Structure 1
């Protein structure tokens, strides 16, 4: 088995605009995002930290790093999923998020689980 098959976490993201917390007149656009991590590898692995790259529609980049997610550092057995929700605030009605989770396998091997880029967009802004 290859190392990439042994250590693999798939990440799915869904984002939504939160109109009740947004104020377009003040350039405040709030988005919720929902993440599901699935251990598709062969060994248990723990999420240690995160690194987000958030880019707004004007090209302004914000990087966020920290331990765990929502105060947790979940351990995922092979086949196990972990889901959580969080949010981001932009100064533009569109943007993107991407990044990685830093993982530690039960056998001590460390690896990154890539978070594919996903769109943050206020409805009816993109055609």
Structure 2
């Protein structure tokens, strides 16, 4: 698990290789990741959008942007958390992801970025 805190918002990420959804012979490696967003600040926040930088070990970089996460723009009150699971496919057996969320502080309608720490996507047999 990797964790980072930006402006009172803690991001924790766990990853798992999805063997049953992968097909290495066709250069298709599927990974799932679970992200927990904890609001450690004194103010309610809303996740408005996300930006990902995805690195595949073949040298390919992809940038993905979009509104919310998994179809929602959750509001997270002080002391509360929001978790979701999503996925990423690579053409090789290892890579990484990093990025940021754009959050909106509800009391003053101020936008700010929250870093998503870089995390590794590695097929388990590569670790032996």
TM-score greater than 0.5 by the shorter chain: yes
More strand by share: 2
Structure 1: 5+ residue stretches without partners: none
Secondary structure class of the residue paired with 1:25: helix
CA apart distance, 1:126: 2.9
CA deviation map 1:57-98 (0-9, x unaligned): 122101100000011000111111000000000000000011
TM-score (structure 1 length as normaliser): 0.92
Count matched residues: 123
- Match for residue 122 of structure 1? 123
**Gapped runs of 5+ residues in structure 2?**
none
> Aligned partners of 2:58, 2:14: CA distance in 1, in Å?
22
Q: Who is 2:66 aligned against? A: 66
Checking the alignment, whether the CA contact within 8 Å between 1:95 and 1:119 is kept in structure 2 is: yes
8 Å contact kept, 1:8–1:113: no
Q: Which runs of 4+ in 1 moved over 6 A?
A: none
> What TM-score do you get using the length of structure 2 for normalisation?
0.92
CA distance in 1, matches of 2:103, 2:8: 10
- Secondary structure of the residue aligned to 1:124 is helix
Partners of 1:22 and 1:120 lie apart in 2 by 13
1:23 aligns with 2:15: no
